[in-house]
Amino acid sequence: MILNKQKVAALLDHLSGARDVFVPATVDGVAKFARYGEGVQPDFGMVNTTMPPKDLLFPQTQKMYHFDVDANGSYRIHEYDESREQVVFGIRPCDMRSIVCMDEVFLTKGFVDEFYANARDKLLTVCVGCAQAAETCFCDSMGVDPQMAPNADVMLQDCGDAYLVLAQTEKGEAEVAEWSAFTEEADAQPVTCDLTLKVDMEGVVDKLEGMYDAPIWDNLSIKCLNCGTCTYVCPTCHCFDISQDMRRKDGIRFRCWDSCMFSEYTMMAGGHNPRPEKLERVRNRFMHKLNFFERRYGMSLCVGCGRCVEKCPVALDITRLIDEIGAYDA
């Protein structure tokens, strides 16, 4: 089954009737997944959005509950569930892999995060394969196929003028069955996508086990500004902080993105900070991406989308770090 690219706009109009559909678009100068509608022009030629799609499942600020005091002086709690039916149309294979990572974090190992779970249940993922790569793309080195995302509900492989439509889950099959006005029974050949940036991950995970005190962390971290750019543009960084805003006896409790690059991230009550300097913070971030997550979940927490490589103010480049780990001789 194929979907002609000229029919995509009509399909989006159809989909956005009952649900919020998010598409890659540049809004106010920022490339992100924006709600399809007036003033939002989908751009499926853009390789990667600046902001990842993670906020559809894990918003930067998420209200958890609201509390106040009733006439008898008792506290009352009012829960929030702002999750709703959403479609992400045009998510890339690297970002689909990031959802695999977040699913592991928020849904497995004995604890289900209900805010994430509710949003995840209501999300339909339509992945568009890549026909071209940016110079910073290295997903295939991280085990991602730029034309295939096995966990997407619907996979649209780029074949030039049309997409080859693959329904990959029950949800995806049910969805695609409704698309007959837009699709055609035909076959097409996906184009190949060549990535110029390559890294060799062979042995990197194991090698990092013995590199906690290696000098590369100092060399690397010394130029880091400790801003949160890499963590906020990262599709897999999922750390959050829980806080509250109070007005007299009314308040809301919310969670919001946090960044391990910030000095107050690990600050404990009593004033001890186990990661006091840049070195500890930078080491932690990259160990988490390339080793800790692999040990806990059996996969890398870097999907090779290249956003941090592109956006880091000082060009602190994870691909160069991977090269250095490979070349490191203790």
Partner 1 sequence: MTAQDIIRTRAKELLESGEVATFIGWEAGRFENQTTPLVITDAADADKLVFNEYCVNTLAKYVRDVIPRGKVGLVVRGCDSRGIIRLVADKVIKREDVYLIGVGCPGIKDRKTGEMLKKCAECRHNNPPEFDEMAGEVAEKPVAVERFAEVAEVEAMAQPDRSRYFESVYAKCIRCYACRDVCPCCTCRECFVDQRRENWVGKQNNVAENRFYGLTRVMHIGDRCIECGECERVCPMDLPLMKLNRKVIQDMNDLFGEFESSLSLEDTTEPLIEYRLDDVEEFM
Binding mask 148-187 for partner 1 (x = CB under 8 A): ----------------------------------------
Q: Shortest distance, CB of residue 100 to partner 1, whole angstroms?
A: 24
Nearer to partner 1, 155 or 220 (CB): 220
How far apart are alpha carbons 83 and 221 in whole angstroms? Answer: 38
Residues 287-326 touching partner 1, rule: CB under 8 A, are 311, 313-317, 319-320
Interface residue with partner 1, options 84, 223, 249, 295 (CB under 8 A) = 223
Q: Which stretch binds partner 1 (CB under 8 A): 69-77, 82-90, 140-148, 230-238?
A: 230-238
How far apart are alpha carbons 225 and 245 in whole angstroms? Answer: 29
Binding mask 8-47 for partner 1 (x = CB under 8 A): --------------------xxx-----------------
Asked if 170 and 177 count as a contact pair (C-beta separation under 8 A), the reply is: no
Q: Which stretch binds partner 1 (CB under 8 A): 66-74, 83-91, 171-179, 216-224?
A: 216-224
Nearer to partner 1, 171 or 311 (CB): 311
Sign of the C-alpha dihedral computed for residues 32, 37, 41 and 46 taken in this order: positive
Residues 71-130 touching partner 1, rule: CB under 8 A, are none
Give the interface size with partner 1 as a residue count (CB under 8 A): 41
What is the CB neighbour count within 10 angstroms for residue 204?
A: 20
Query: Longest C-alpha distance within the chain, in Å?
Result: 69
Nearer to partner 1, 182 or 232 (CB): 232
Amino acid (one-letter) located at 162: A
How far apart are alpha carbons 163 and 274 in whole angstroms? Answer: 50
Interface residue with partner 1, options 10, 192, 222, 249 (CB under 8 A) = 222
Q: Shortest distance, CB of residue 209 to partner 1, whole angstroms?
A: 26
Q: Shortest distance, CB of residue 264 to partner 1, whole angstroms?
A: 5
Asked if 118 and 51 count as a contact pair (C-beta separation under 8 A), the reply is: no
Interface residue with partner 1, options 245, 249, 250, 295 (CB under 8 A) = 245
3-class SS at 141? helix
Q: Shortest distance, CB of residue 107 to partner 1, whole angstroms?
A: 24
Interface residue with partner 1, options 6, 60, 108, 192 (CB under 8 A) = 60
Nearer to partner 1, 78 or 247 (CB): 247
| Binding flag, residue 273, partner 1 (CB under 8 A) | no
Query: In the chain, where does DSSP find H-type helix?
Result: 8-15, 93-107, 114-121, 170-176, 204-208, 216-221, 229-233, 278-287, 293-297, 307-311, 318-327
3-class SS at 4? strand
How far apart are alpha carbons 94 and 130 in whole angstroms? Answer: 10
Nearer to partner 1, 23 or 309 (CB): 309
* 312 Cβ contact partners less than 8 Å away, ≥ 6 residues apart: 229, 230
Question: CA torsion 28→32→34→40, rounded to 10°?
Answer: 50
How far apart are alpha carbons 102 and 59 in whole angstroms? Answer: 13
Interface residue with partner 1, options 97, 120, 238, 278 (CB under 8 A) = 278
Chain positions contacting partner 1, by CB under 8 A = 28-30, 50-51, 60-61, 135-136, 197, 219, 222-223, 225-229, 231-233, 241, 243, 245, 254, 256-257, 259, 262-264, 267, 278, 311, 313-317, 319-320
